[in-house]
Amino acid sequence: MFNPWLTSALIWGSLCAGPSRGEVGTRECVYYNDNWRTERTNQSGLERCEGEKDKRLHCYASWLNSSGTIRLVKKGCWLDDFNCYDRQECVATEESPQVFFCCCEGNYCNERFTHLPDIVGPPGQLKIQPPRPAPSLLGVLVYSLLPLAILSLALVLACWTYHQRKPPYGHVDISEDPGPAPPSPHVGLKPLQLLEIKARGRFGCVWKAQLLSEYVAVKIFPIQDKQSWQNERDIYLTEGMRHENLLRFISAEKRGSNLQMELWLITEFHERGSLMDYLKGNVVNWAEMCHIAESMSRGLAYLHEDQPYRAEGPKPAIAHRDFKSKNVLVRTDLTAVIGDFGLAVRFEPGKPPGDTHGQVGTRRYMAPEVLEGAINFQRDAFLRIDMYALGLVLWELVSRCTAADGPVDEYLLPFEEEIGQHPSLEDLQDVVVHKKMRPVFKDCWLKHRGLGPLCETIEECWDHDAEARLSAGCVEERISQIARVTNSNNTTSDCLVSVVTSISDTDPPPKEAST
């Protein structure tokens, strides 16, 4: 495609130019830690950079600028980051972040750092210009061939667009801006570094990341799932969404542009992961099971609750619509935290609830009316769908509890024993709707003074008649009552019958519909 003389010139030019700037190696960086006493590290010195062979290494610096007073926060090595490629000087380019951050390539390149914002400051403001490098032969060749490269790229892009008229994921409106990132005290903080993928789901993947000295979870959506990102962000920003049993939201951000755009949700991180993952590898005793079940029910009850007279502002009732053990996280102390609100819907007085398409969620946890496609599109109907799924998750908890006499089986998903790990919609319709089957209770559970009443509560959660199901608040009260009675009567085996009788004779919270 190129003339012979042009090919020769390119080869000769590259030989004369020597190694490219992208090949500058980084082995050591200047190290500093302003928080060295708390983290028990050295305050300053040199840091040896180590990483995978196929990954680049960089140096970085972060600092604060308070009314012209510079306070250095950290310096050290930085793992492979395309934002640092070919930067020989540590220069922060953001206009006015809360924490300034720069990275560069080359040994000790972070010894000096500076701030040169991309936009032009107000008149009279001093702006230091970086030294202008001397033009090289390779640079001259690059600028000479740049128009030809742009033309070739345009042709390739035109061919690709022609063959990709219908993307595999359907129509995506990239002209519509997903909206500005919401206000948050953490937006714009640097550095935030993705460390490892912890989970993959229908709408993207979840990374463990580091935000300065804090671990956070970053849920990354591709642009085609913009609606789910936007919906989950709006749910988190709803008035009153701060609760100890709901996942704590930090910020939402947009990264990249056009088809390469990624939409990020940043939340608190829990090392134990989801309840499903925890139950796969661990059994729970009676006290642990009660704590998880009660805190999980409390979080769902708060989510469902309509609080029109809150001093801080009214909180609407919210239906989760994808409640399952994978969307319940577990703290270190085994407190349950509900997350993943991509399908959630709000019910605000005088406003339409938004997208209330009926058959959404995870198939295995769908209520009979959802599988039938016979949903009453009212608030209470959606809350009752969550209650059916809560019953299944409580069954998962009971199945891994060591309280009853008898062996504890390996973890199984609801209906996994009946229809396997990957049931079709028709399989579930046959089992749940037509045969009205539910996961099986073992005899030893029903005979246990605490598990027996809990199994009765679970049955009332997944009742085939949606209007007969318990509310989340009622489930929370019942679990609390069962835990109190069994703990206070945990003396001798002779009290087994009397304890079960006392629970049965005590007026339980009413069997109300979900509200």
In whole angstroms, give the CA distance from residue 255 to residue 192.
Answer: 13
Catalytic residue, candidates 322, 340, 380, 463: 322
Asked if residue 366 lies in contact with residue 426, where contact means CB atoms within 8 angstroms, the answer is: no
Asked if residue 468 lies in contact with residue 432, where contact means CB atoms within 8 angstroms, the answer is: no
Pick from 101, 47, 112, 92: which is nearest to 73 by CA?
101
Judged by DSSP in three states, 30 sits in strand
Residue 484: count other Cβ atoms within 10 Å of its Cβ: 12
Secondary structure letter of residue 315 according to DSSP: B
Q: Which residues contact 111 (CB under 8 A, 6 or more apart)?
A: 30
Secondary structure letter of residue 29 according to DSSP: E
318: which strand partners?
346
Judge residue 117's burial from the number of C-beta atoms within 10 Å of its C-beta, 0-12 exposed, 13-18 middle, 19 or more buried: middle
In whole angstroms, give the CA distance from residue 339 to residue 332.
Answer: 16
**φ and ψ at 115, to 5 degrees?**
-125, 115
How many CA atoms lie less than 13 Å away from 475 in the CB half-sphere?
Answer: 39
In whole angstroms, give the CA distance from residue 111 to residue 76.
Answer: 10
Judge residue 273's burial from the number of C-beta atoms within 10 Å of its C-beta, 0-12 exposed, 13-18 middle, 19 or more buried: middle
The type of residue at 464 is H
In whole angstroms, give the CA distance from residue 243 to residue 337.
Answer: 9
In DSSP notation, 68-89 reads TEEEEEEEEEE---GGGTT--S
Secondary structure letter of residue 434 according to DSSP: I
End-to-end alpha-carbon separation of the chain, Å? 71
E strand segments, 148-302: 192-201, 204-211, 214-222, 249-255, 262-268
| 322 in catalytic set | yes
In whole angstroms, give the CA distance from residue 281 to residue 276.
Answer: 9
Q: Which tokens sit at 317?
A: 């009732």
Q: Could you give the residue numbers annotated as active site? A: 322
